[in-house]
Structure 1
């Protein structure tokens, strides 16, 4: 890593990559972003009820690509979903350069440093089976979970599936035995040897049809095998207290945010037995820190990105640095409060994620 990377400044390679992409992004944006959306739904995609209300309106708070996004909530089952939803062209546009391309190195480094989290996810299964032979991690990204879990379960073979190029890097790095690129529903239609375990860690909220994904998991897991799911919890009180600054809303990527009771009931209807429900273990104590960062990042002038018409001037870059430096005390205070609140989070319903372990009966 060179000196510019250590200081968080774009390297010369990054500047060239941004410049090379700018014309393509500007051509996309010149045609407008309204074409990236499907027609608005008038009914809940989970239960079919027509009793909807707007839960949230926001923008892209991470990449700051243009566009406005709405999350609706069903008044009957309380399912939260993006409405209108991005279409295929829109998903490609807003995912572009997030997990791969320009964002590949940053996201890869971020995911690589979470061994404790990955180990906890694998340990959630140990009370129910200690020697799974074949494990498929859906939405594996760069495969860092598989690498960490393999150290805990040395006799288990880990495969990974993802729609991004990260899964190919995971296979090349030896983090997964087999890396499959594409959609899970399509993958599960092909004849294959059943898996002992299928995991979906912060994957289901990205899918256009969670019910189809769960049915595919049931098809791919052997009888007696296990499904492990971890998703953001839209029932968290932090979701209401922090509003659009609650990181797990993650617009425009998160299309469905499923209540735990809805997911539990649907798994039972599919033919699973839910063995464990965890809220404390998957909770990440960063809600306040992330909210403060998103606010400061939105307040400061933008970093250079190819969806901007031109590279920011020296003055604007200096102003951005000044705003972020001024916010350091708030970031430190938010970090402290997050960690002080962690022991109380389950009791106050402040946990930001939940995890279910289910057995195919």
Structure 2
């Protein structure tokens, strides 16, 4: 008998179809009780300024995972804050986040974030070259820790911690992308164990996911040492493409994004908390995929969805063939959109309201 036949075999990884089939019963049980239970009551006032002058900005569906449900964004006529209304509750957030960043989506999203080294390096280089490197850095909403892994090439002596709700932060610690993984609520942990611990706190595309952005900003104030810096990057709801492309503007990312802060509102809140804003950037943070994203979301709105556990049964062969045919037919539109994004929109980023995101750097001058 061959020796190789006696060697233990590594269990084969389940196929995507097998994974979907295994997850389907849980999803169908959740959906059998309806999607209405995933939402809080609709607000009649702005969560930022309290004004009752609200207007519908858009209504859409989940174009990313094709999970059932409808989602609305409303805008305040007074302060221009945009927010999801009615907002997802805790059960809703769990349902719509499930298998996006972890589970089924872990590898796909991990590969997407892992390929952005240049972006992460530019984010890390917020200091003047002559400034003293930070000793401790907390990346809030770190995901799988891809940003800290690149940032430590800029600041090799800095200790990078990462905080997140998902088990991705534990993966980030096991793989060495961060020195310490912290799982839980930032506002709660800032009160309990993180106060005055960090020279830098970063929130890259995190605040828009938060149910209470003000609480997150107060937590950052508490976690920073005097003289420390807060780095924030968020989608810009005042971008021209947000209105031009409507529900097909990629940064709306419904149903995950709950709040969209105009930069004036954020600056005013930081000032009230005792921060000094030392930089505001629009050109460099802009991720110029507006047209490509619009074409992709439009496709997702019309073509049959791929198999997913939220569907009651797998799509038949005819629907699968139709999906493949429509995707192939859309390739020229995707290529054209990518070309226009890179050659036309990217050079214009930072001019007017073309940028789809902004970054603010603020200094904490005294303990809270």
TM-score range (shorter-chain normalised) is over 0.9
Q: Deviations over 1:258-288 (max 9, x none)?
A: 0000001100110000000000010111100
1:346 is matched with 350
2:9 is matched with none
SS at match of 1:160: strand
Aligned-residue offset at 1:127? 5.7
SS at match of 2:279: strand
Q: How many residues align?
A: 351
* Counterpart Cα distance in 2 of 1:128 and 1:183: 35
2:244 is matched with 241
Contact 1:38 1:84 in 2 (8 A): yes
Q: Deviations over 1:188-208 (max 9, x none)?
A: 111335200000000000000
Query: Residues 197-346 of structure 1 correspond to what in structure 2 (within 5 A)?
Result: 197-340=200-343, 341-346=345-350
* Counterpart Cα distance in 2 of 1:332 and 1:323: 15
Aligned-residue offset at 1:223? 0.7
2:139 corresponds to 1:137: yes
The alpha-carbon distance between structure 1 residues 21 and 128, as it changes in their structure 2 partners (threshold 3 A), is farther
Answer with 79-88 or 292-301: which moved more: 292-301
Aligned-residue offset at 1:31? 0.4
* Counterpart Cα distance in 2 of 1:125 and 1:136: 16
1:112 is matched with 114
| Structure 2: gaps spanning 5 or more residues | 1-12
* Counterpart Cα distance in 2 of 1:345 and 1:237: 11
The alpha-carbon distance between structure 1 residues 183 and 128, as it changes in their structure 2 partners (threshold 3 A), is farther
2:168 corresponds to 1:166: yes
Q: TM-score, normalised by structure 1?
A: 0.95
Answer with 145-154 or 189-198: which moved more: 189-198
Contact 2:282 2:349 in 1 (8 A): no
Aligned-residue offset at 1:298? 2.0
2:362 is matched with 358
Moved over 6 A (4+): none
Name which of 21, 30, 33 aligns with 2:32: 30
Contact 1:273 1:358 in 2 (8 A): yes
* Counterpart Cα distance in 1 of 2:186 and 2:127: 22
| Structure 1: gaps spanning 5 or more residues | 1-10
Aligned-residue offset at 1:12? 4.6
Q: Deviations over 1:93-139 (max 9, x none)?
A: 00011100111111111110100010011012346844100000000
Q: Which structure has the larger Rg?
A: 2
Contact 1:297 1:324 in 2 (8 A): no
Query: Residues 72-91 of structure 1 correspond to what in structure 2 (within 5 A)?
Result: 72-91=74-93
Q: Deviations over 1:233-264 (max 9, x none)?
A: 00000101100000000000000000000001
SS at match of 2:178: coil
* Counterpart Cα distance in 2 of 1:313 and 1:125: 55
Name which of 49, 54, 57 aligns with 1:55: 57
Q: Deviations over 1:206-228 (max 9, x none)?
A: 00000000001000100100000
* Counterpart Cα distance in 2 of 1:128 and 1:226: 16
1:190 is matched with 192
Contact 2:283 2:351 in 1 (8 A): no
* Counterpart Cα distance in 1 of 2:128 and 2:203: 17
SS at match of 1:309: coil
Contact 1:125 1:357 in 2 (8 A): no
SS at match of 1:276: strand
